[in-house]
Chain A
Amino acid sequence: MTEEQTNKTANRRQFIRGGLRGAALFVFGAVTTLLGLQSRKERTVWQIDPNKCIACSKCATNCVLTPSAVKCVNYFPMCGYCDLCTGYFEPNPNALNTGAENQVCPVGAIIRQALEDPYYEYRIDENVCIGCGKCVVGCVQFGNGSFFLQVRHDKCVNCNECSIAKVCPSDAFVRVPASSPYIFRAKENQS
């Protein structure tokens, strides 16, 4: 190959590369414009819609974190402060006390505290709660439904695809804007 030929090939290659580069830039521009039309500035986070959730207990086992970033929340304005809390006690408990054998919660994450007679306050210890939702079933079945499961964003690592959302049988996992990252039950929305 003579020098001239080599130069010619090199020039041709450079020209083709430049053209393809331009084409790629054009495609990027088009993609950005297309997405720009429907993109949002704010990022989204995962949340459980309590109105769809069936408390199947998959949240406890499918989160990438151990324990799960899903925790039970007690929304106090809806709570009946019952003595016989069906979210706290097993069906037909031996006695209405804090004995582990009486509790629904497998890890003892619900703290029961006596207030003025006959009311009891139920708080969730989020460091202990595993998000299994057993208490949610009890509360919704016979109580007011003030217990529900929520993704706690101080724990959630916000995976691109939530591994609980993938297995959620009732499609309750939704992406919500990061500025209003919680969906509480109906009463909250009304007030």
Chain B
Amino acid sequence: MIFVSQFISFGIERFPPPDFEPGTYTMPQATKPLPRAHYWEYIDMALLLLALSLASYFVHKKRSRKHIFWLALFSIFYFGFIRKGCVCPIGSIQNVTLALFNNGYLVPFSVVFFFLLPLMFTLFFGRTFCAAVCPLGAIQDIVVWKPVKIKPWLENGLRIIPFVYLGLAVLFAATGSAFVICEYDPFISFYRLSGSVNMLALGGIFLVIGMFLGRPYCRFFCPYGAILSILSRFSKWNVYLTSEDCVRCQICDVACPYGAIASPTPISQENNPKISRWSIFGVIGLTILLTIGGAYFGGKLSVPFSKVNYVVSLAERIAGEESGKYKGQTDESKTFREKGGSIEELYADALKIRGNFATGGAIFGAFIGLIVGLKLIENRFTPQTNIYEPDRASCVACGRCYSYCPREIVRVRNLFKLRSIKKQE
């Protein structure tokens, strides 16, 4: 086998190609079928812009669930089945990260476009991307059947997972180790109607759970949703029902399958200013502690995390073989040895990458600590409100609540009356 791979890397002309009699034989050309044509990229980008604009229009101007639903079906069809999902805005986080940290990696313009455009729209219109443009969100949105409510503390706790996922995805992409989001994309194999049984099963499980627990991936895993939930907090426009004359009937809360309606704050929170001042210091102090603690433990994770990296795992294997810990060779170590790479250089590279993981891991840990702390602060100091309204961060603008709000129904009816009066005049 060693003999084989010594020559495998280059062709040697052992048998000169025959000279055929002219005209007797035409040598076939090795075909080179081309990938999807270049102009499709522009069609994709134009359709993304169009879909986002339509979604924002349907959510804010039309206020119509029906229109949002049909747009979602279109997104499933085009961005899912036709475009087959890649590169999607969720996955593009990693391309952008890798390009920012690694000068050798050139990111195509369309990928940057797919990453940034939904962010820009969210900044102005809230999460209308999630509502009807994202193929992963859309497919979960249409399977919702009998959604159950989960306890607020559980919901709040689980909503930290997307930030952890985001942190990990950025860490692994920045160190050039792996694209974890793509690897565990639950619906891509469904859109391609092909893929490993595990991934198809994972997608199926998410869809079945999604019938009873609205949008499980979006709410508790999606790393892009984590970014959007931050941006939508200060979006210019957001989904609102009826700010002034809410009758507190709570029907919107029942209608929302995603637990995204914020309830009125209990009166008991208006307590002694002295105590609340102390609790401000307490929670802020805790946040700082969590951040520092997170940084410390995150840095410690560099050894297990860095095993994901190709160079580090190869170096560990080679080191194991050198010290006699492993017997025999893997394909990787054999190739490395036959190519005559320097072991010292490999070790140095691996140590450098592990160093990057130590720094990155510390930042990752600090980030998680900070997010947990901020969640606690938010929980402690929710702004006073006495009405039911969609929560800016977690509302995905599906538009279901509109048709349930009695005030909205009155508003729409009055609008129609006004129109018919105008017509009669």
A4 proximal to B (CB < 8 A): no
A146 proximal to B (CB < 8 A): yes
Q: Which one of B24-32, B202-210, B344-352 is at the A interface?
A: B24-32
Distance of A21 Cα from B237 Cα, bound (Å): 12
Contact between chains at A140 and B234 (CB < 8 Å) = no
Binary per-residue interface labels of chain A (120-164) against chain B in the complex, 1 for a CB within 8 Å, 0 otherwise: 010100000000000011001111111010001111111111010
Interface residues on A, range: 35 or more
Report the minimum CB–CB distance from A14 to chain B (whole Å). Answer: 9
Chain A residues whose C-beta falls within 8 Å of the C-beta of B416 in the assembled complex = none
- Asked if A178 meets B15 with Cβ closer than 8 Å, knowing A35-B96, A39-B107, A169-B331, the reply is no
Chain A residues whose C-beta falls within 8 Å of the C-beta of B262 in the assembled complex = none
Contact between chains at A51 and B335 (CB < 8 Å) = no
Contact between chains at A169 and B33 (CB < 8 Å) = no
- Asked if A64 meets B189 with Cβ closer than 8 Å, knowing A25-B123, A54-B5, the reply is yes
Binary per-residue interface labels of chain B (1-34) against chain A in the complex, 1 for a CB within 8 Å, 0 otherwise: 0011101111111111110110011011110111
A108 proximal to B (CB < 8 A): no
Contact between chains at B17 and A40 (CB < 8 Å) = no
A48 proximal to B (CB < 8 A): no
A3 proximal to B (CB < 8 A): no
Chain A residues whose C-beta falls within 8 Å of the C-beta of B30 in the assembled complex = 73-76, 184
Binary per-residue interface labels of chain A (58-96) against chain B in the complex, 1 for a CB within 8 Å, 0 otherwise: 100000111000000111111111100000000000000
Contact between chains at A77 and B17 (CB < 8 Å) = yes
Chain A residues whose C-beta falls within 8 Å of the C-beta of B189 in the assembled complex = 64
A56 proximal to B (CB < 8 A): yes
Distance of A79 Cα from B195 Cα, bound (Å): 35
Contact between chains at B183 and A161 (CB < 8 Å) = yes
Q: Which one of B50-58, B111-119, B215-223 is at the A interface?
A: B111-119
> Looking at the complex, which one of B14, B110, B179 makes contact with A143 (CB distance below 8 Å)?
B14
Chain A residues whose C-beta falls within 8 Å of the C-beta of B120 in the assembled complex = 25, 28
Report the minimum CB–CB distance from B53 to chain A (whole Å). Answer: 18
Report the minimum CB–CB distance from B292 to chain A (whole Å). Answer: 25
Chain B residues whose C-beta falls within 8 Å of the C-beta of A156 in the assembled complex = 35
Contact between chains at B86 and A157 (CB < 8 Å) = yes
Chain B residues whose C-beta falls within 8 Å of the C-beta of A75 in the assembled complex = 30
Report the minimum CB–CB distance from B129 to chain A (whole Å). Answer: 15
Binary per-residue interface labels of chain B (96-117) against chain A in the complex, 1 for a CB within 8 Å, 0 otherwise: 1001100100111111100010
Report the minimum CB–CB distance from A163 to chain B (whole Å). Answer: 8
Contact between chains at B108 and A39 (CB < 8 Å) = yes
Distance of A68 Cα from B179 Cα, bound (Å): 21
Distance of A54 Cα from B195 Cα, bound (Å): 25
- Asked if A43 meets B112 with Cβ closer than 8 Å, knowing A77-B17, A160-B182, the reply is no
Contact between chains at A35 and B99 (CB < 8 Å) = yes
Distance of A181 Cα from B120 Cα, bound (Å): 33
Chain B residues whose C-beta falls within 8 Å of the C-beta of A43 in the assembled complex = 38, 41, 108, 110-111
Select from chain A the residue with minimum beta-carbon distance to B192.
A157
Contact between chains at B10 and A51 (CB < 8 Å) = yes
Chain A residues whose C-beta falls within 8 Å of the C-beta of B331 in the assembled complex = 54, 56, 58, 169-170
Contact between chains at B33 and A152 (CB < 8 Å) = yes
Report the minimum CB–CB distance from A148 to chain B (whole Å). Answer: 8
Report the minimum CB–CB distance from B326 to chain A (whole Å). Answer: 15
Q: Most chain-B CB neighbours within 10 Å: which of A13, A42, A160? A: A160
> Looking at the complex, which one of A31, A145, A148, A154 makes contact with B96 (CB distance below 8 Å)?
A31
A17 proximal to B (CB < 8 A): yes
Report the minimum CB–CB distance from A25 to chain B (whole Å). Answer: 7
Report the minimum CB–CB distance from B132 to chain A (whole Å). Answer: 22
B84 proximal to A (CB < 8 A): yes
Which 8 A-B pairs rank lowest in CB-CB distance, beginning with the nearest?
A145-B11, A80-B15, A169-B331, A154-B33, A161-B179, A17-B234, A153-B35, A43-B108
